[in-house]
Structure 1
């Protein structure tokens, strides 16, 4: 550890960073942590000796790969569902990576059973979810909307973990798997709405009457 006239530099730094921190790093170093601070002490002697000890702390931002962005819009519509033109078959873009993988697995299993499943609606942004809620209010009234649409901060569509499966026969097939593929029907009044969780593979949780119920 650097010394000035026999006095440890850590004694000078202790008020700012602590002696232990100074002993753990060279005279000039960069330390990564979660805050930013700089302590710099310069001591000069009559012989023009110079001792400089600098500790720099910078922030590190952690990100989680595959986690959907709640503000990112999902596909709006898509190709017609091949087994029922009344519905769309959206791409799974924007859903969580594990949901996309599980949906591919579920589609393969369904196809082996002669069933075609369509994603009529998947990922939504906060704005898309709010627009869906507002549309329900306009068409059916606020009381009805409360039974079918969650606000953006509570929606699994916004979080990227929900799919609306159509047609009804395909949704019934997926429901009958009882979560073994990772998807469970969540509400009594929405036969099409499924959410994904790895724990569902052990069995689906009890259904609720409605999203707001």
Structure 2
């Protein structure tokens, strides 16, 4: 047997092992790719990932029998949709300021969606019960939800707006319309402060428990 033949036989098992390893790598890569495809693309961060507090959103979903007549709103309602009591029952001056601001912001592609506006006492009571159940105490719930007797939503003097672009725009321009963020932990909550057009918005409370009205 020649030296060439002997060398070829000696190298054959090595090439076979390399081929097996390469084939295994290809199979594993294919399985990983299939798994990733099944999972789908990674979702973009939501508002709840960006903002602090109550999962970064106002409390608008409730367990109970309250309906649209109590102020519950579906998604996508704007400040111009006064067929909904949650919008139509807002204080007229607040609603006019919101619509003026929304018209100006609309030229920049910004839409004022109302997540919650006017609420009936029953709606507010239900929100408070749900908040106590979620946060574990009346004291902690009070940082996010007022009683029906003290809530500016029940009197029609407050509105919770979104999305993020709307909150950001109002944080910079709202004062010229008298629209002010009241609580540091609720960037979606706005109320009318007419004096803000001349003097700017007042300093915010950290949360509703610091508000003397509460």
Sort the TM-score into its range (normalised by shorter chain): 0.5 to 0.7
The answer on 1:96 being equivalent to 2:91 is yes
User: Residue 159 and residue 81 in structure 1: after superposition, are their counterparts in 2 closer, same or farther (change >3 A)?
Assistant: closer
Per the normalisation by structure 2, the TM-score is: 0.58
The answer on 1:117 being equivalent to 2:112 is yes
Instruction: Tell me how far 1:78 sits from its aligned partner.
Output: 2.3
CA distance in 2 between counterparts of 1:200 and 1:159 reads: 21
Which residue does 1:176 correspond to in 2? 172
Can you give the 5+ residue segments of structure 1 that lack an aligned partner in the other structure? 1-72, 83-88
User: Residue 98 and residue 149 in structure 1: after superposition, are their counterparts in 2 closer, same or farther (change >3 A)?
Assistant: same
The answer on 1:205 being equivalent to 2:202 is yes
- Aligned CA-pair RMSD: 2.3
Q: Count residues in correspondence.
A: 136
1:158 to 147, 154, 161: 154
Instruction: Tell me how far 1:96 sits from its aligned partner.
Output: 1.1
List aligned pairs for 1:66-77, cutoff 5 A: 74-77=70-73
Q: Which has the higher contact order (CA 8 A, sep 6+)?
A: 2
Instruction: Tell me how far 1:148 sits from its aligned partner.
Output: 0.7
CA distance in 1 between counterparts of 2:171 and 2:193 reads: 14
Instruction: Tell me how far 1:80 sits from its aligned partner.
Output: 3.0
CA contact (8 A) 1:182 1:198 kept: yes
Can you give the 5+ residue segments of structure 2 that lack an aligned partner in the other structure? 1-68, 79-83
List aligned pairs for 1:1-213, cutoff 5 A: 74-80=70-76, 92-142=87-137, 143-202=139-198, 203-213=200-210
Per the normalisation by structure 1, the TM-score is: 0.58
